[in-house]
Amino acid sequence: MQRDDMILISVDDHIIEPPDLFVKHLPARYRDDAPRLVHRDDGSDVWTFRDAVLPNVALNAVAGRPKEEYGLEPQGLDEIRPGCYDVDERVADMNAGGVLGSMNFPSFPGFSARLFATEDPDFSLALVRAYNDWHIDDWCGKHPGRFIPMALPAIWDAELCAQEVRRVAEKGCHSLTFPENPAVLGYPSFHSDYWDPLWRALSDCGTVMNLHIGSSGRLSIPAKDSPPDVMITLQPINLVQAAADLIWSRVLKEFPHLKIALSEGGTGWIPYFLERIDRTYEMHATWTLQDFGGKLPSEKFREHFLTCFISDPIGVRLRHDIGIDNMCWEADYPHSDSMWPNAPEELHEVLRANDVSDAEINKMTHENAMRWYRFEPFQHIPREQATVGALRKAAEGHDVSVKARSHQVVAPADKLNAFRKRAEAAVTAAAAD
């Protein structure tokens, strides 16, 4: 398959929320207390909510910036591409990058919407519903066929969370973001029966639970004096633990239709993981009393788990060991792992180098995403207009040049020092927990 003939649907991108997020969908009685975006005298933009001030409005939103500005977080909306927070500009950026469809994770509320868990459950639920309605109706709804809608959970209450899954499913949303380790946030673990109403709702609605790296608010914590490369390298490890927790839990046995995505976790580690869980089962099931109904744990993994990758040459090479029906492509726009707007070039080179057939390319680039998330873009966009080449032709003249956008000039050594201070604080917090 030629590069321009590919059809790309990304199952992991990110929104930087616009300031008018709550204006339309939050009941009037709550609007004065809603989170708000504040522009400060120093030129920075911050979200404020109650006593909380979120210090960074656009964490890692570095698409279109030179790598010299990586490690220096944008402080205001004027330091990031408008496509991060303006849906029309986002679609223009998607076209220029040859991307047909995109699923967008939240930013300022956190992946689990823990920020919205207040002492007033009615207000908390109103915030979650307002965000979800904005996302489904205004962000995704403005450009049909371009976005896979994703809902925030009512993380503080399993019953309310299940109700919200059912409510948004009626609006066509079959994707939920959820923490990869709820116990870290002070909620029951995956092994508890507390979440059973949620598992039931997800199964009934055909909704995928997406576990994004860092979604519990904590990545793997290295030593406080280790370089940032250690933390970046270990980012997928939380998802390895989440996958192990779930594969050995009673949940997959009692809810056989449950679907789980390991978002931004990569794929290269999956073959070893599958070998390891099968070996564990073979050697220890007689006393751990695990029973998969005559199947191997690796078979159950392929029934329940979706994995995603940006390029992952080793994962693509081992695609049949992972499961060709369990792999989806991701772009990670606008974060630093993204290759926007040149992702098609990088992806196509990996596919070509590994002799991937056209049928396999179609599965990994868009067909698996459409099937897992019940997404039907071709009801709105003819297939011949959905290819990399056709989308890029439609975007001719759209500026995709790399530009310095930061108002700060910070030496690399100072960036490292700032990172080490944050790492030390994280280690101290982890020890306190």
Q: What is the mean pLDDT of residues 385-403?
A: 95
Q: What is the pLDDT of residues 302-356, one digit of tens each?
A: 999 999 999 999 999 999 999 999 999 999 999 988 999 999 999 999 999 999 9
pLDDT at 258 over 80: yes
Cβ contact 96:115 at 8 Å: no
Tell whether 407 is covered by a domain.
Answer: yes
Measured from the Cβ of residue 196, the count of other Cβ atoms closer than 10 Å reads 16
**What's the pLDDT score for residue 428?**
46
Measured from the Cβ of residue 408, the count of other Cβ atoms closer than 10 Å reads 12
**CA separation for the pair 287, 421 (Å, rounded):** 46
Nearest to 76 by CA among 93, 55, 90: 55
**CA separation for the pair 96, 83 (Å, rounded):** 11
pLDDT band (50, 70, 90) for residue 164: very high
Tell whether 104 is covered by a domain.
Answer: yes
pLDDT at 263 over 70: yes
With tokens 């992952």, the residue in question is 312
* Length in residues, the chain: 433
**Secondary structure of residue 433 in the 3-state scheme:** coil
**Secondary structure of residue 202 in the 3-state scheme:** helix
In angstroms, the Cα distances linking 247 to 71, 200, 275, 305, 421 are: 35, 17, 13, 9, 36
Write out the two tokens for 289: 């009393």
Measured from the Cβ of residue 123, the count of other Cβ atoms closer than 10 Å reads 16
Task: Name beta bridge partners: 262.
Answer: 211, 307
Q: What is the mean pLDDT of residues 374-382?
A: 98
Residue 3 burial class via C-beta count within 10 angstroms: exposed 0-12, middle 13-18, buried 19 and up: middle
pLDDT band (50, 70, 90) for residue 427: very low
Q: What is the pLDDT of residues 194-247, one digit of tens each?
A: 999 999 999 999 999 999 988 887 666 666 677 777 877 777 888 999 999 999
The answer to pTM > 0.85 is yes
Nearest to 35 by CA among 173, 170, 128, 167: 128
Tell whether 2 is covered by a domain.
Answer: no
Tell whether 41 is covered by a domain.
Answer: no
Task: Name beta bridge partners: 261.
Answer: 210, 306
Radius of gyration of the chain (CA): 21
DSSP structure string for 22-82: TTTTS-GGGGGGS-EEEE-TTS-EEEEETTEEES-SSTT--TTS-GGGTTS---SGGGS-G
With tokens 């779930």, the residue in question is 246
**Secondary structure of residue 241 in the 3-state scheme:** helix
Burial 13-28 (b: 16+ CB within 10 A, else e): bbbbbbbebbeebbee
**CA separation for the pair 145, 142 (Å, rounded):** 10
**What's the pLDDT score for residue 413?**
58
Q: What is the mean pLDDT of residues 69-94?
A: 85
Percent of the chain clearing pLDDT 90 (strictly above): 75
Q: What is the mean pLDDT of residues 249-275?
A: 96
pLDDT at 433 over 90: no
**What's the pLDDT score for residue 71?**
59
Tell whether 40 is covered by a domain.
Answer: no
In angstroms, the Cα distances linking 108 to 105, 131, 178 are: 10, 11, 15
Residue 175 burial class via C-beta count within 10 angstroms: exposed 0-12, middle 13-18, buried 19 and up: buried
**CA separation for the pair 65, 334 (Å, rounded):** 10
**CA separation for the pair 75, 52 (Å, rounded):** 17
* Least confident range of 47-51, 90-94, 327-331, 429-433: 429-433
Percent of the chain clearing pLDDT 70 (strictly above): 88
pLDDT band (50, 70, 90) for residue 409: low
Tell whether 42 is covered by a domain.
Answer: no
pLDDT at 179 over 90: yes
Cβ contact 176:151 at 8 Å: yes
With tokens 């896979």, the residue in question is 148
Q: What is the mean pLDDT of residues 365-382?
A: 98
In angstroms, the Cα distances linking 61 to 84, 337, 412 are: 7, 10, 18
Sign of CA dihedral 334, 337, 340, 343: negative
pLDDT band (50, 70, 90) for residue 395: very high
Cβ contact 224:427 at 8 Å: yes
* Least confident range of 12-21, 184-193, 422-431: 422-431
**What's the pLDDT score for residue 424?**
53
Strands 36-39 and 45-49: antiparallel
Domain tally for the chain? 1
Tell whether 3 is covered by a domain.
Answer: no
Amino acid at 345: E
CATH code for the domain of 282: 3.20.20.140
**What's the pLDDT score for residue 216?**
82
Mean pLDDT of the chain: 90
Write out the two tokens for 211: 């576990």
First to last CA, the chain: 51
- Structural domain span for residue 118: 8-35+48-432
**Secondary structure of residue 188 in the 3-state scheme:** coil
Tell whether 427 is covered by a domain.
Answer: yes
